[in-house]
Amino acid sequence: MRKRVGISYEPGLIMIFRLFCAAVSLIFFIFSLFPPLFYSVTLDTSVWLGMGGAYAVIAIYLIIPFFKERMSLFFLPVAIIATIVIPVISLTWQPDLFGDDFLQLSMISSYSLSILLLFPLILTAWQYNFRMVILLYAILGAMDPLIYLLRIGPYDNRFPAYLYFSLIRIASFVAIGFIITELMKNQRLRQKQLSEMNERIKRQADIALELSATRERNRLSHELHDVLAHTLSSLAVQLEAMKATFEIDNQRTGELLDRALDNTRSGLQETRRVVKNLRYEPLIGVGFNEAIKQLARDAELRGDLTVILDLQIEIDQWEYEVIHGIYRIISEALQNCITHAEATTVSISVRRMQEGGTELIIKDDGIGFNVGKKIDSHHFGVSIMRERAQTIGADFFIGPDEKSGSGTQIRMVFRSTT
């Protein structure tokens, strides 16, 4: 069986066409009962009844799905052609009238015809291109001068006037159709561009989400690697030592066992801390400065540190992703101080810069490290912080304390704070 072609119509077009045909049909049925006063010459009632019935048939044709399925490509053009041909023939091919009656009726019919043809013109330009407008209105629109030619002949002194009015209407309709088709073309182009832009934004959002998830997985793997690898490797060494001294020195074995238990408890506590950080969002409800104070108190308890805070500004009005990134960087820096730096004092400051922007500085008095040296596989903290800084658009610097030349100083600069 031959597959039928599916047609996509502009939203609302068919429904509006149905309403138009139904309304015109009702008006003509009313005219058949109460002839309009603006017609100085009374038309036969059959003209109004015929036009009302014709428009009613078109409305029914547009309602029944069977015709839409069977007619396919020709469904809408047939209805549009019918709404052009029916009024042209009905209002132009009148019974024999002479003199002023014919002139008056022809002029009024021409005005009525222009009104009736305007709506299918709009529908044609709305759905199709300009070539379809030319086809329908340059060809079918020439029907009424042809009818006048047949009715009164080319030598009648009234014919040039009728031809002139017909040509003016055709030219006006073609111009209106051109404007509408151009507007619709531009609208469709903008809709297409908007759709493509939305698709690109969606793809970029998916990529950003995937990158964010990847970074978070990397951070989690780094933290768990630091906690579990250190704890388990230390525990393995101690167990090997216990195995070697078990039968020789029970006291030494007991000391190693106590140390192994301490390391195990410490590793368990750190693992719980990492898992808690994944489940708990400390910034919600308390603000950035209060969350950093709580972070500092926890670090002091866990690492026997003294944390000095100098939070000169509030940054809660910044974008949440930036605030969250800064919080995580400070958290990572404090954890590095506890785990690797052997520091006793850490200072954290957030302040405005004179040249513009905001500066975050984290300094400790620990053992420091060689920045140029490749970061050991067991210490991912620096790479995590650098990745987070890049994500939130901050410049990241790390090295010894600029004043003392020892310890470690982390400096981040935010040029934009919105």
Q: Where are the domains of the chain?
A: 13-200, 287-418
Q: How far apart are CA 411 and CA 390, in angstroms?
A: 13
CB 92 within 8 A of CB 113: yes
Q: How far apart are CA 400 and CA 184, in angstroms?
A: 65
- The pLDDT of residue 351 is above 70: yes
- The pLDDT of residue 115 is above 90: no
Residues 6+ apart with CB under 8 A from 200: none
Q: How confident is the model at residue 223 (pLDDT cuts 50, 70, 90)?
A: low
CATH architecture group of domain 287-418:
2-Layer Sandwich (3.30)
- The pLDDT of residue 232 is above 90: no
Would you tell me how many other CB atoms lie within 10 Å of the CB of residue 84? 22
Q: How confident is the model at residue 55 (pLDDT cuts 50, 70, 90)?
A: very high
- The pLDDT of residue 109 is above 90: no
Residues 6+ apart with CB under 8 A from 249: none
Q: How confident is the model at residue 362 (pLDDT cuts 50, 70, 90)?
A: very high
> Which tens digit of pLDDT belongs to each residue from 279-307?
545 666 678 888 889 888 888 887 788 99
Q: Which residue has the higher pLDDT, 43 or 153?
A: 153
**Summary mean pLDDT of the chain:** 77
- In this prediction, residue 282 carries a pLDDT of 60
Structure tokens at 153: 């002949």
Using alpha carbons, select from 240, 233, 242, 243 the residue that is nearest to residue 263.
233
- The pLDDT of residue 206 is above 80: no
Q: How confident is the model at residue 361 (pLDDT cuts 50, 70, 90)?
A: very high
